[in-house]
Structure 1
Amino acid sequence: MELSDELKTAAWRKATKSGSNQGNCLEVAPLSGGRVGLRDSEAPEKAPFVLSASVWDAFIDGAKKGEFDF
C-alpha cells in the first residue's frame, strides 16, 4: 500500500484531554513499519508528519520524563 493511501485510511486518534480544547489538538495514527503519523486536528487536509518508530519512541520517552514541560 502506498503511504498516501495508508494515511487516508489511517485510524487517527487524539488524547482524551483534547476535549477541554474544543477537540483541537494533535492526532496520531499507527502506520506500517512501526511508523507514526502526526497531524493537526484543525487542518486534517494538510499533509501529516510521518515519524519513524525510533523518533516516536524517543519523543514519548522524553514526554514521559517531562523534558517538554513548560
Structure 2
Amino acid sequence: MTADSPRWFKSSYSSNGGDCVEVAANIPGVVPVRDSKDPHGPALAFDPPAWSSFVSAVKGGEFSA
C-alpha cells in the first residue's frame, strides 16, 4: 500500500450483512466513497467540505423518511 492508497472503513453502525458504503479519509483534498459489495468497482470522489455537509445533514435527520 502506498501513501496515496485509500484506507477504507465502514461505519460502526453497519450491521446489516455488509450492504454498506466505505469511506477513505486519508487522501488529501478528496473523500472517496465506494460500495462495500464491490470493492474493486468505481468510487465516488467528494471534496471534503461537500462530504462534511452531507454527513451533517444525515446526522441532522435531513434525509429521514
**Residue in 1 that maps onto 2:11:** 15
The two structures have a TM-score, normalised by structure 1, of 0.78
Structure 2-normalised TM-score?
Answer: 0.83
Q: Which runs of 4+ in 1 moved over 4 A?
A: none
Q: CA deviation at 1:24?
A: 2.1
Identity over aligned pairs, percent: 34
Larger fraction in helix: 1
Pairwise CA RMSD: 1.5
Structure 2 unaligned blocks of 5 or more: none
What residue ranges of structure 1 are gaps of 5+ in the alignment? none
Deviation of 1:46 after TM superposition, in Å, equals: 1.0
Alignment size in residue pairs: 62
